[in-house]
Amino acid sequence: MPGKHMARRRVAILISGRGSNMAALVAAARGADYPAEIALVLSNRSDAKGLATARAAGVATAVVDHKAFGKDRVAFEAALQRELDVHRIEIVCLAGFMRLLTPDFVARWHDRMLNIHPALLPAFKGLDTHARALAAGVKIHGASVHFVVPEMDSGPIIAQGALAVRADDTAEALEARVLAIEHRLYPMALRLVAEGRVRVEEGRCLIDGARRADEVLLSPASAGLNPPQDN
Ligand code: GRF
């Protein structure tokens, strides 16, 4: 746990849309003992709904419109990096940020850039994860927070949240239950990273001083979202 005098890590959240995960991180960071502060919400779209949410919460926002850079991803990322520098950002959280990042940008934020993905990685990388999980007939599904590497939805897994798939589930119903898990999972994972407790060894995250599995895992029971087993 950080001491009272330990500076909180300065975090930027990158969004492209609704920003409900961003809002969950902002809410968590209001906690007196939370080891990170949300210093910037940055979007590649000026019409991202989450920007208004962030402003209403008193968080600094910025827009770097990717369309202004055409196909020049390096120039787009240089503009992103300028904003991150101006706000002295130490950790980046991708939260529904719909642009692929170049290996150079990813390398610059090596083990300091997190992403949340709505599936239990390494299953169901990419889009439409809930419909694909239903089509595959998996009985357990969920969300993952991982460090970003150049390959999409890969990278060392920091924390995961799981739930039971119901026989009558629709993609929308699953999405809603997974999203509720995401909103608890991302603050948990960012806490661990901001506390400096996450080490990456051979592509796997090791959590220093993890006493309980529920520091890195929201399971159907601990997530409180599934009926308890009778036994
Ligand atoms: C979430 O489902 C997240 O897992 C995925 O994109 C969605 C973003 O939703 N990467 P929101 O913008 O955080 O509400």
How far apart CA 10 and CA 36 sit, in angstroms, is: 6
Domains and CATH numbers, the chain: 1-109 (3.40.50.170), 116-231 (3.40.50.170)
* Ligand 1 contact, 187 CB (< 6 A): no
Q: Global pTM?
A: 0.93
Q: What value, to the nearest 5°, has the Cα angle with vertex 116 and ends 7 and 104?
A: 75
How far apart CA 75 and CA 206 sit, in angstroms, is: 35
What pLDDT sits at residue 5? 57
Per-residue tens of pLDDT for the chain, all 231 residues? 545 557 999 999 999 999 999 999 999 999 999 999 999 999 999 999 999 999 999 999 999 999 999 999 999 999 999 999 999 999 999 999 999 999 999 999 999 999 999 999 999 999 999 999 999 999 999 999 999 999 999 999 999 999 999 999 999 999 999 999 999 999 999 999 999 999 999 999 999 987 777 778 888 766 554 444 443
Query: Which H or E run includes 61?
Result: strand 61-63
Mutation pick for ligand 1 pocket among 16, 116, 160, 177 (CB with most ligand atoms within 8 Å) = 116
CA of 5 to the centre of ligand 1 (A): 33
What pLDDT sits at residue 226? 46
Residue 162 is given by DSSP the state E
Residue 105 pairs in a beta bridge with none
CA of 144 to the centre of ligand 1 (A): 11
Among 5, 87, 110, 117, the active-site one is: 117
How far apart CA 24 and CA 65 sit, in angstroms, is: 24
Q: Is the separation of the CB atoms in 66 and 46 below 8 Å?
A: no
DSSP 43-90: ES-TT-HHHHHHHHTT--EEE--GGGGTT-HHHHHHHHHHHHHHTT--
How far apart CA 210 and CA 216 sit, in angstroms, is: 8
Catalytic residue flag (residue 117): yes
Residue 167 is given by DSSP the state T
Mutation pick for ligand 1 pocket among 16, 21, 26, 146 (CB with most ligand atoms within 8 Å) = 21
3-state secondary structure of 227: coil
How far apart CA 204 and CA 33 sit, in angstroms, is: 27
In the block, tokens 């390096």 appear at: 74
171-194 vs 129-136: helix axis angle to the nearest 10? 120
In the block, tokens 């997190």 appear at: 114
**Residue whose C-alpha is closest to residue 118's, from 18, 229, 221:** 18
Residue 89 is given by DSSP the state -
